[in-house]
Amino acid sequence: MEVDTVVTSLWKGNRLVTPVGGGVRIEAPEALEPANLLSDKEGQVTKAREAVELKGLAAGRWWWD
């Protein structure tokens, strides 16, 4: 999947905000091939994921909203 790059600008209060999106190409099947996966023998990724607290996150909201 490839998405065209898009940029815009807007004033939010006294700040100029310039969100940029697109320009990303994802080859999901290739990324998930066993040769491209990284091992987590020490469990560092699992520990980091379990340490994230999402208390107070409203239903239907993403953590980065």
What residue spans of 1-65 are helical by DSSP H? 28-31, 44-51
23-to-32, 37, 39, 51 alpha-carbon distances in Å: 21, 24, 29, 32
**The pLDDT of residue 4:** 80
Domain boundaries, the chain: 6-51
Model confidence pLDDT, tens digit, residues 5-64? 888 899 999 999 988 888 777 889 999 999 999 999 999 999 998 998 888 888 888 877
Would you call 51 helix, strand, or coil by DSSP? helix
> DSSP strand E in 1-65: where?
6-7, 10-12, 15-17, 20-21
In this model, does residue 1 exceed pLDDT 70? Answer: no
pLDDT at 2: 67
Rounded to two decimals, the pTM is: 0.41
